[in-house]
Amino acid sequence: MTHTPLQGFPTLADLERVAAERVPDRVWAYIQTGAGEERSLEANRAAFRRWSLRPRVLSDVTSVDLRSRILGREVDAPLFVAPMAYQREVHPEGEEGVARAAEDARVLSIFSTLSSASLEEIARAAPSGPRWFQLYLQPEFARSRELVERAERSGYSALVLTVDVPVLGVRDRQEAGGFAIDASVPTGNGPGVVPPARAPSFRGPTYELPANAAANWGILDDLRSISRLPVILKGILSLEDARRAARHSMEGIVVSNHGGRQLDGAAASLDALPAIAEEVGSTLEVYVDGGVRRASDVLIALALGAKAVGLGRPILWALAVGGGEGVREYLSSLSRDLATAMALTGRRQIAEIDRTLVQRIP
Ligand SMILES: Cc1cc2nc3c(=O)[nH]c(=O)nc-3n(C[C@H](O)[C@H](O)[C@H](O)COP(=O)(O)O)c2cc1C
């Protein structure tokens, strides 16, 4: 019998527990914690528990097809690996391992501006993708432009502009755990690439932030003027902003509270999803991330209007325990579980997952 890296960790809770033992405490604090009192982090999971599934029976489910299209490209499942910085801190294979795993699973993966590996190294590791580049605006637009041009040259097929980080959220537990997001953590995209500011500085009588915090909706025109790639806004939680993204002809939005790491008290991603998807889902593609752990979560999110569903921390747990091979195994077991859940709800195709699949628990 061949041994696989995640063998012996039958549940996700086991995987999380063992991952905690595999990475240094400071990295664990970085991965796991949320902002403030972690209300939004907890809310993400709690939101899924307010929905139940309404299975339909006797639907001939001998063949279940998870294939979907994301911005026109066929993928094997309506999932994506969310952008997460500094992956070599978690495992030496880092982003390259994750990219290979996602490519093998034919699942979309998104890579952060603050990746440990350079965007070119990631592209070389998994040349056929599909792969998107997540942009953190740099204080000078010329720097952002360089990153965008490099991503385009390296075959990234869309830009994901993260819009919920004009400044990092107040991450007390992460900092107490000894992990500070600053120039001390090595990144792969070059010494000129900087993370968002950790806090505003008091310059009496006001608090000041670096120039990347100056961005307004006009930045989208600037991005359009330098790239032909589709643009997706990540970190939308309000209907007003979703409408505005549609008016600016964005190709997609990720409804997200950044895994509860930014504004503590912000809505759970899943709670924000249904109204947004209903209003703009026919104009642009609506994705969601935050608290997605199991196949039933994926079904609920799809039923509430998401076109694809993002995975954050579980990917890092699998990476910590088994490197890229661990991520491959996690993705394949989640896809199999999704096929099981579809068979159990009488859905043969992703297109058959609709609002009638879920009901709100009174
Ligand atoms: C360790 C870590 C690092 C992250 N880094 C980034 C990043 O660089 N850019 C970004 O847009 N989002 C980042 N995120 C947010 C994720 O893309 C995603 O929104 C979130 O993790 C989803 O929630 P989940 O972890 O509950 O699945 C990060 C999340 C984690 C856990």
pLDDT at 1: 53
Q: Could you list the active site residues?
A: 258
> How many angstroms does the Cα of residue 347 sit away from the middle of ligand 1?
30
Which residue minimizes the CA distance to atom 30 of ligand 1? Answer: 84
Secondary structure class of 108 (helix, strand, coil): strand
Q: Is 270 in the pocket of ligand 1 (CB under 6 A)?
A: no
Asked if 219 and 233 touch (Cβ cutoff 8 Å), the reply is no
Q: Is 258 in the pocket of ligand 1 (CB under 6 A)?
A: yes
**Whole-model pTM?**
0.98
53 - beta bridge partners? 358
pLDDT tens, residue by residue, 178-195:
898 888 899 999 999 999
Q: What are phi and psi of 52, to 5 degrees?
A: -120, 165
pLDDT at 322: 96
Assign 6 a pLDDT band (cuts: 50, 70, 90): confident
pLDDT tens, residue by residue, 90-106:
999 999 999 999 999 99
> How many angstroms does the Cα of residue 124 sit away from the middle of ligand 1?
23
Which residue minimizes the CA distance to atom 6 of ligand 1? Answer: 84
Write out the two tokens for 244: 């505005």
291: alpha, beta or left? (left if phi > 0; alpha if psi -120 to 50): left
Secondary structure class of 81 (helix, strand, coil): strand
CA torsion sign, 178 to 182 to 186 to 189? Answer: positive
Q: Is 79 in the pocket of ligand 1 (CB under 6 A)?
A: no
pLDDT at 221: 98
> Distance between CA atoms of 168 and 195, rounded to whole angstroms?
9
Q: 68-95 b/e with 16+ CB inside 10 Å = b?
A: bebbeeebbbbbbbbbbbbbbbbbebbb
Average confidence (pLDDT) over 344-351: 98
Whether residue 9 is predicted with pLDDT greater than 90 in this model: the reply is: no
Asked if 93 and 323 touch (Cβ cutoff 8 Å), the reply is yes
Secondary structure class of 203 (helix, strand, coil): strand
Whether residue 315 is predicted with pLDDT greater than 80 in this model: the reply is: yes
